[in-house]
Amino acid sequence: MDEAFEYMEQQLPKPESPNFYTGRSAYFDQTNMLEDAISHTRKALTSLHLLPLPKFALDSLPPLQPVWKPQIAMGQAIGMKLKTSRYRKLTDMLNQLDQYKRIALTAGYAELAEMIDQVLVLFERANKEAVLMRGRRKPVKFDEYGRSYTLGKRKESAARVWMIPVKHDPLPKIESLITAVESEPSELEALKQANPDLAAVAIPTAPPAESTRPGNLPVTNILINNVPIIKYFPKTSDRERIVRPFKIAGLLGAYNVFALVRGGGTSGQSGAVAHGIAKGLAGHVPEVSEVLRKAKLLRRDPRMVERKKTGLLKARKARTWVRR
């Protein structure tokens, strides 16, 4: 009996995890937890008639923004080194669980989404907010006068651009002119007697329609380093490059522009000013930002001058090859 008790005391304790004998208990524990969470969430969404969703409903969900820990950090959090295949399996399950969370949020079930988020937060980066802000553009700054300030760049040139909407002068009041004419009938009769041809001319008694009134053409200024654009950029191609954002947005003549540009040549400086103008238009009129984005005006042109190589005349130009 004593030997039996000693044998029982020498036995190892019972493993805490049922996956202990797999050799990768930490990894399989996490996968089992995620599979259980996915299964329970799927049942809850199915009971709420939110699954399965048609394709058009899935496409209308908010886009996935994965902020999972990288492979090395994920392995350190679990307690073992992860292979690429195992890391990919974990992220696939996390993406599926995140999709269920977005479905619950869109349908208005915040409690279910919060329960899912408690699982997802274990695998997210510590700097989640900073990662999500990387792809977003900084909002355009406006001062107390309604002027926008943006920064545009191209090649070696940088431009600081200020834009302000043009204030149109009010149209002349034609009603006041007609009243003044009608208030002096004696002079009008005298003119008719002196010129019989005016007797057949009908005098307007009502103001013309709003569509027939002559409008004042807007006059705008584009100053580059306090110099008019036509003097600073003699080339038509450079001026067209600057005006192109206004033409695409349909806002030609709607803003006054003042820019300070430094560095580079004329093509680089005109491209930098155009980049700043496009960003300013997107700030003033957010509706045209999509049009400007498709025209690739909101994105800085990444092309740079290729460097000269040793032994070549220029970046790629070589000397003429001679046999002897």
Q: Where are the domains of the chain?
A: 15-132, 141-166+219-294, 174-207
Dump pLDDT digits (tens) for 259-304. Answer: 999 999 999 999 999 999 999 999 999 999 999 999 999 999 999 9
- Reference 123, options 190, 67, 56; nearest CA is 67
pLDDT band at 14 (very low <50, low <70, confident <90, very high): confident
Percent of the chain with pLDDT over 90: 61
- Nearest by Cα to 103 from 91, 116, 93: 116
The rounded distance, in Å, linking the Cα atoms of 14 and 17 is 9
Does 3.40.190.10 match the CATH number of domain 141-166+219-294? no
Averaged over 191-219, what is the pLDDT? 51
Task: Quote the pTM value.
Answer: 0.56
Label residue 190 by pLDDT band (50, 70, 90).
Answer: low
Please list, in sequence order, all residues whose beta carbon lies within 8 angstroms of the beta carbon of residue 148, skipping any fewer than 6 positions away: 140, 141, 142, 162, 163, 164, 280, 283, 284
pLDDT tens for residues 49-95?
A: 999 888 888 888 888 888 899 999 999 998 889 999 999 999 999 99
Residue 115: pLDDT over 70? yes
